[in-house]
Structure 1
Amino acid sequence: MELIEEENLLYKAGDTGIFLGKVEENAFHQHYALQLTIGIDEAFEMESEDGVVLSKSLLIHPQVSHRLDSKRQKVLVILLNPASTLGHFLAKHMTSAPIEEFTEEWVDYLRMFVQDLSKNEINEKTFLSACINSMAEFNSRCLAAKHDIDKRVLASLQYLDRHTREVISLKEMAEEMCLSESRFQHLFKEETGISYRRMQLWKRLLASFDYVQSSKTLTEVAHQSGFSDSSHYSKTFKESFGFSPSEVLASSHLLID
């Protein structure tokens, strides 16, 4: 990632990620999260297997290979857990295509928050609080929608959240959920759109951000978050974000909640 003019802002709160900045030379990647990308002033370029789209606001479904070029403009990227109430509602009830224009009024509020931050009318903490609160308000629309993800899958996701530094085998998790390995694996993929193994890697990848500020090297971060070594961690990171962890962390101001 090339740092342009100013430092990027990277924020993690639980399983929600927020990035504000400018992006170039992004490699093709895919991840479990539902991705909302918003151009603040101008359109950005999003490329997928279906071609290139120029847009000011796109919602990208999980496991869709893509690459982002912000065209030297600032973009706001929000990564949401598709198994959350908000993520499930957006993916199942508000969109149908893998990559789709998203023009809800919520987007306008998010742009306004960025503009207030750029004018120094609010600080970073207030900006991030405004983004998170706006999600909560938009989330109220989700409560009336049928949120029908299987409870055993939800329980397994919560179990992974509690054990991010461990490798929980498929056999162990299936037994925890009182299912056969094959049944659990099929149910998990059907409900989340990703294999159990890839989900566990994604959960550990998110958890790794919590250790960045207290660790001196990527090897320490990798070991703290359950990866075998820094090479495995860096490979997984780039496959998920299109950049190496060193590129992202060198150009971003990281905040953890």
Structure 2
Amino acid sequence: MLESGSSAGIESSIRKDFSHRERAGTQIMPGNYPPILLVGSNSQIFIGPLGRGRRHIHGANVALVALEKPLMVKMGANLHWTEYESTLIPAGTAHELDPQGGWCAVVYSDIYAPRWQAMQPCPGQLPLKCLTAYRKLRGSLQRLIQAQTFDVGLQKELSNALEKSLGTAPKTFNRMQQALRGYLQDHSELDLDAFASHVNLSPSRVQHLLMRELGLSYKRLQHWTRFQSAMGDLENMRSLTEMALELGFSDSSHFSNTFRTTFGISAREAGITGNDLRLWPFPG
């Protein structure tokens, strides 16, 4: 997976970079700022403090950027923690994340309509050791922490930094992505039988193609699309029970367990149910 020899050099560089910024006084200390959730039509970015999460699997490629302390990550069959300033974890990769209580940014984009080329699913791909131009991206994210509004200037700055790191939007999509885009434009819920009928395939064939072309099981993709579709309406869903019912779960316990399995932490730990969350639209 990751080359152990080069990982040691990366870890040394990470520690030097963070300690240099601390000595120079250039590191933004988030203090008591509330977390941020940027919600776009096909993307979400969480910016905030996180504790150590459990082993979990995302339903899309996910980019991580350390904003305060180095990220500690275990991926796949690797039993050892590795330090990162930034990384990209492919969809379907089991991993544990420990931001050491510091602020970090977690960048998501829908697997069927990724906003950036790096988010394009490719079953079997390896995690990235470091994002391109991550220091520029980190600077944009850190400036956003102290902002009172997500104004046009900050939007343009962050959009440019994300494109430098993750690339522009893909120009082509595989058949499962195209089918999902069309289906989810007209349906709020991903139902296996209905989707199979939509693409004129058997449910078993659909499950096979989802795994082959996206690297995900149907059930994991269904949970992911449920959570992603609800992100833009969090302001109106302040209780776990209300959120669970809105997303089609039988009760808050089922919702909480699925959320933790998908994201490694609880909804409360992520801060998405708190009244102080800064929920801002992210055009584009």
Q: Same fold (TM over 0.5)?
A: yes
The answer to whether the Cα contact below 8 Å between 1:39 and 1:56 also exists between their aligned partners in 2 is: yes
Which range moved further: 74-83 or 59-68? 74-83
Structure-2 change in CA distance of 1:90 and 1:241 (3 Å): closer
Between the two proteins, the alignment pairs up a number of residues equal to: 244
Residue 61 of structure 1 corresponds to 90
Distance in 1 between the 2:105 and 2:231 partners?
19
**TM-score using structure 1 length:** 0.80
Match of 1:159 in 2: 183
CA contact (8 A) 2:121 2:214 kept: no
| Greater strand share, structure number | 1
- 1:45-69: CA deviation from partner (whole Å, max 9, x where unpaired): 1123312111111111111122222
Partner of 1:187: 209
SS at match of 1:100: coil
SS of residue in 2 equivalent to 1:45: strand
Corresponding position of 1:81: 110
TM-score by structure 2 length? Answer: 0.73
- Deviation of 1:216 after TM superposition, in Å, equals 4.7
Q: Which residue is 1:214 aligned to? A: 236
The corresponding residue for 1:173 is 195
Shift of 1:238: 0.8
Aligned counterpart for 1:101 among listed residues 129, 144, 147 = 129
Could you tell me which runs of 5 or more consecutive residues in structure 1 were left unpaired when the two chains were aligned.
Answer: none
Give 1:131's aligned residue.
158
- Structure 2 gaps, min length 5: 1-29
- State the distance in 2 between where 1:187 and 1:91 align: 16
- Secondary structure at 1:79 match in 2: strand
Task: Please say which of residues 57-66 and 79-88 is displaced more in the overlay.
Answer: 79-88
Q: Does 177-186 or 83-92 show the bigger shift?
A: 83-92
Counterpart contact for 2:60–2:119, Cα < 8 Å = no
One-letter amino acid of the counterpart of residue 156, structure 1: L
Cα 1:87–1:63, aligned 2, differ >3 Å: closer, same or farther? farther
Asked if structure 1 preserves the Cα contact closer than 8 Å seen for 2:59 and 2:216, the reply is yes
- 2:61 alignment counterpart: 34
Q: What residue number does 2:220 align with?
A: 198
Equivalent-residue separation in structure 1 for 2:168 and 2:93 (angstroms): 27
Give RMSD over aligned pairs: 3.0
Runs of 4+ in 1 over 6 A off after TM superposition: none
